[in-house]
Amino acid sequence: MPLRKFVYFIRQKVNMKTVATMCLSLLALLLSGSAFAQGQGEPMLPYSPSLDLSSIDNSVDPCANLYQYACGRWQKNNPIPADQTSWSVYAKLYQDNLKFLRGILEQAAASGGTRDSVTQEIGDFYTACMDEGEAERRGLGALKAQLDAIEQPRSARELTSLVARLQLYVGGYRSLLFSAGSDQDPDNSERVIAVLGQGGLGLPDRDYYTREDAKSKEIRERYLQHVQKIFELLGENGESAKKHAETLMRMETGLAKASLTRVEQRDPYKLKNKTDLAALNKLAPNFDWEAYYRELRYPSIEIINVAPASFFVEVNRQLEAEPIENWKSYLRFHIADTSSPYLSSAFEQENFDFYRKYLRGAKEMQPRWKRCVQLTDYNLGEALGQAYVRKVFSPQLKQSTLDMVVRIEAAMEQRIRTLDWMSPETKQQALVKLHGIRNKIGYPDKWRDYSSVKITAKDFAGDIQRLTEFEHRRRIAKIGKPVDHGEWEISPTTVDAYYNAQMNDINFPAGVLQPPLYDPKMDDAPNYGNTGGTIGHELTHGFDDEGSQFDATGNLKNWWTDEDRKKFDERTKCVSGQYSNYVVVDDVHINGLLTMGEDVADLGGEILAYIAWKGATKNKDLSLMDGLTPEQRFFIGYAQWDCANERPEDMRMRAQVDPHSPPEYRINGVVVNMPEFAKAFGCKAGQPMVNPPEKVCRVW
Ligand SMILES: [Zn+2]
């Protein structure tokens, strides 16, 4: 979903299409164990508490380093599994979820004859995915129609309808030449319009093509080798493959230079450029836009948001400058590279070697069952989600988490009313926005219907291709129709949460409301510190440097007085200044402008959680537990949401593309600004976890 620019997750979402892994042997399948609990027929999720004393390292002073104190032994006890690029409480829960979902899918696959349509869809998809032998036998045959089509055009002008058709097969975070689809009109959030955006790259970000440091040069060299290898797997000899790889690199570098940086993309006005078809034809006349939209059967289009326009000027330039043979190479590489999950093991191996091993540091591929569970979740999330929530998300759980959401929102209201730096005028508008937020908990009220898609147990490549097309067409079909406010961007099984600025809604899937994050067996303190903080985080996104530019209805519209905006900017600058000082790996610092929204949300979220917790427990007699005060339990619960171990390769990549700060700073960077923390642990002025008063950052 490369087009959603204003959606903020608590964690970076996993890039599904490049997490391709490989084949597994039958032995690995037998040894890896399934989620079926011993002696029972039903899959179960394992339990771990939301405050875990065995994770604490008592040799560390919490006033010196809260993260090390709360997570030190977790780090020792939880080395990164060989098939993972990093490891954390979230990642572990996600992996537990995969095992659990595997149990559901194996049951669905084995259920045969009388099953309902949802069970058939997920069961057959999973069965087809697990048939590694068939993928190996078909090999490139699975892409024959696409590869044949790429050979047809005789001029760049004839590329239009080909690009249109091929884009339907490329999903996830990759796009072919550019990204396209629909989105809410930035000025009228109840209207869905056509959109065109930058894209078309094989490396994770445009900066990879432009940086001149030694590491970036090395990565480009390795990427060239990867592209060359894909051409060789497509049947080219070494010399031709090398030449085509160099051509592709030149074309992508041109696209990268015309793309906005991640920091620029955080400015909603840089992503707004509403135009129409006539103007688009003038902007990029070498592409036949009428034919493009006709081919994809778009509804009638009055407005297209084309941003950044400069990107399409570059597309247009290359359409003229590059001979048709170069375009064919470009398309062949991207179609093959993004299809590697359902091609032969040689493609999967190469995809893993470059994207997951070299760029992110994983040592081994994930076993095939894991990849298949993830692909089922990615492609049929709201079918698999139905089976999942029936087992893990009771109405009581929904009610208790909703209660917490309501309390956090009440805390936000209280905060806004008592802010000393904001005028009554702006406060009034902030409250309107707060009251306009929709809360979505657990799963959608209305499930997505995949019944129009043919899914069979014998055609994995076809299943994925048809489901990827289904998703593109679903998005295209939204144009001109009323906005569906019940829609979710992620599946119910996802261990993540998000705020969407144009919807003005906060979304917490069932997957993120499980222990050890939300733990119904535990007292309020760690639950508010952990899940309360997450809820507060998403809520604060509505009021961070970016979200605060959208109003209660999700329109990009200023509701601030100039004076208040200036004071707000000074406060967010304090946060970005603090985080820019933190080192990620080697000489790489946090890019405080990239992570500003997340850092502001982390800080605001925890302050809100603290206020809400105090409110929720004001008549309760809170006492020491396990030698810890309730306040200490609140902050340990907070820190333990993000206990993690990380590989340097992955940290380096995430410093460029991930708007979230590394785990240690997401914890310590927040509490240094909270006198409530210093008080809870008796920390003194001058200790590392206590910012001196003149350096304390506070936005909300
Ligand atoms: Zn966030």
Note the pLDDT tens digit of each residue in 63-89.
Answer: 999 999 999 999 999 999 999 999 999
Radius of gyration of the chain (CA): 25
State the pLDDT at residue 27.
29
Instruction: Write the pLDDT tens digit of every residue in 599-646.
Output: 999 999 999 999 999 999 999 988 999 999 999 999 999 999 999 999
SS3 category, 195: strand
Q: At what angle do helices 395-418 and 424-435 cross, to 10 degrees?
A: 170
Q: pLDDT at residue 26 above 90?
A: no
Return the structure tokens found at 132: 């590694």
Q: How far is the CA of 435 from the centre of ligand 1 (A)?
A: 20
Angle, CA 183 vertex, CA 182 and CA 186 arms, to 5°? 140
Give φ, ψ of 310 to 5 degrees. -60, -30
Q: What's the average model confidence in pLDDT over 588-606?
A: 97
688: tokens are 């590392």
Cα(521) to centroid(ligand 1), Å:
26
Tokens representing 691 are: 């910012």
Q: How far is the CA of 78 from the centre of ligand 1 (A)?
A: 25
Question: Ligand 1 centroid vs 156 CA: distance in angstroms?
Answer: 42
Predicted pLDDT at 384: 98
**518 CA → ligand 1 middle, Å:** 18
Q: Which residues pair with 349 in a beta bridge?
A: none
89 contacts 694 by C-beta, under 8 angstroms: no
Check pLDDT > 70 for residue 244: yes
Residue of 493, 382, 397, 391 lying closest to 36 (CA atoms): 391
Rounded to 10 deg, the angle between the 596-616 and 630-639 helix axes is 150
Span 453-475, average pLDDT = 97
| pLDDT reading at 4 higher than 90 | no
What pLDDT, on a 0 to 100 scale, did the predictor assign at position 525? 97
What is the 136 CA–ligand 1 centroid distance (Å)? 40
Q: Is pLDDT of 22 > 80?
A: no
DSSP lists the bridge partners of residue 185 as 188
Top pLDDT among 111 and 145 is at 145
Report the alpha-carbon distance of residue 14 to residue 496 in Å, rounded. Answer: 10
Closest C-alpha to 256, from 293, 317, 215, 202? 202
Work out the number of other CB atoms within 10 angstroms of the CB of residue 271.
22
| pLDDT score recorded for residue 10 | 77
Contact partners, residue 676, CB within 8 Å, separation at least 6: 610, 631
Is residue 9 predicted with pLDDT exceeding 90? no
Burial bucket for residue 26 (CB in 10 Å: 0-12, 13-18, 19+) = exposed
C-alpha 11 to ligand 1 mean position (Å): 7
Please tell me the pTM assigned to this model.
0.93
pLDDT in tens, 478-513: 999 999 999 999 999 999 999 999 999 999 999 999
Which residues share a beta bridge with 274? Answer: 305
Mean pLDDT of the chain, nearest integer: 93
**Cα 96 to Cα 403: distance, rounded to the nearest angstrom:** 27
Q: How far is the CA of 664 from the centre of ligand 1 (A)?
A: 16
d(CA 495, CA 513): 8
Task: For residue 142, give the DSSP letter.
Answer: G
Helices and strands of the chain, counted as H and E runs: 28, 12
Percent pLDDT > 90 in the chain is 91
Q: Which residue has the tokens 């908990």?
A: 441
Say how far apart CA 11 and CA 660 lie, in whole Å: 7
pLDDT at 21 over 80: no
Q: Does residue 396 have a pLDDT over 80? A: yes
- Residue 304 φ/ψ, nearest 5 degrees: -130, 130
Q: How far apart are CA 179 and CA 192, in angstroms?
A: 16
| Nearest residue to 198 (alpha-carbon basis) of 226, 179, 170 | 179
pLDDT for 42 equals 72
Burial 656-673 (b: 16+ CB within 10 A, else e): bbbbbbbbbbbbbbbbbb
What is the rounded end-to-end Cα distance, in angstroms, of the chain? 30
- Considering only CA atoms, which of 365, 368, 369, 375 is closest in space to residue 83? 365
3-state secondary structure of 445: coil
The DSSP 8-state label assigned to residue 556 in this structure reads: B
Distance 12 CA to ligand 1 centre (A): 9
Q: How far is the CA of 545 from the centre of ligand 1 (A)?
A: 12
Contact in structure between 274 and 305 (CB atoms under 8 Å): yes
Structure confidence by residue, pLDDT tens digits, 148-192:
999 999 998 899 999 999 999 999 889 999 999 999 999 999 999
In this structure, the number of other CB atoms found within 10 A of the CB of residue 2 comes to 16
Q: CA-to-CA distance for 123 and 384, rounded, in angstroms?
A: 9
For residue 405, how far is its CA from the centre of ligand 1 (angstroms)?
16
SS3 at position 482: coil
| CA atoms of 602 and 638, how far apart (whole Å) | 11
Q: Burial level of 238, CB count in 10 A (0-12/13-18/19+)?
A: exposed
The secondary structure of the chain in percent helix, strand, coil, rounded to multiples of 5, reads 55, 10, 35
Distance, CA of 385 to CA of 393 (rounded, Å): 11
Q: Residue 604 has what pLDDT?
A: 97
Rounded mean pLDDT, 289-303 = 96
Question: Cα(673) to centroid of ligand 1, in Å?
Answer: 18
Compute the distance between CA of residue 179 and CA of residue 171 in angstroms, rounded to an integer.
Answer: 10
Please tell me the predicted confidence (pLDDT) of residue 19.
30
DSSP annotation of 308:
S
Positive or negative torsion for Cα 4, 355, 492, 75: negative
Q: How far is the CA of 157 from the centre of ligand 1 (A)?
A: 42
Q: How confident is the model at residue 23 (pLDDT cuts 50, 70, 90)?
A: very low
The Å distance, Cα 8 to ligand 1 centre, comes to 5
Compute, in angstroms, the gap from residue 462 CA to the centroid of ligand 1: 35
Nearest to 534 by CA among 498, 586, 491: 498
Mean pLDDT over residues 271-300, rounded?
97
CA 673 to chain centre: 27
- Chain CA centroid to CA 107, Å: 29
Ligand 1 center–CA 2 separation, angstroms: 17
| pLDDT at residue number 41 | 62
- For the stretch 506-551, pLDDT in tens is 999 999 999 999 999 999 999 999 999 999 999 999 999 999 999 9
Q: How many whole angstroms from 280 Cα to the centroid of ligand 1? A: 34
Confidence of residue 32 (pLDDT cuts 50, 70, 90): very low
Q: Is the pLDDT of residue 419 over 60?
A: yes
Give the position of tokens 């002073």.
Answer: 61
Judge whether 60 and 69 are in contact, CB under 8 Å: yes
What's the 564 CA to ligand 1 centre distance in angstroms?
A: 23
Is beta strand 7-9 parallel, antiparallel or unpaired with respect to 498-500? antiparallel
Split at pLDDT 50, 70, 90, the class of 5 is: low
- Residues 6 or more apart from 515 whose CB is under 8 A from it? 47, 48, 49, 50, 521, 522
Are 247 and 326 in contact by the 8 Å Cβ rule? The answer is: yes
Rounded-to-integer distance, Cα 154 and Cα 174, Å: 26
Q: Which of 30-39, 567-576, 586-595 has the lowest mean pLDDT?
A: 30-39
Q: What is the 3-state secondary structure (H, E, C) of 241-287?
A: HHHHHHHHHHHHHHHHHCCCCCCHHHCHHHHCCEECHHHHHHHCCCC
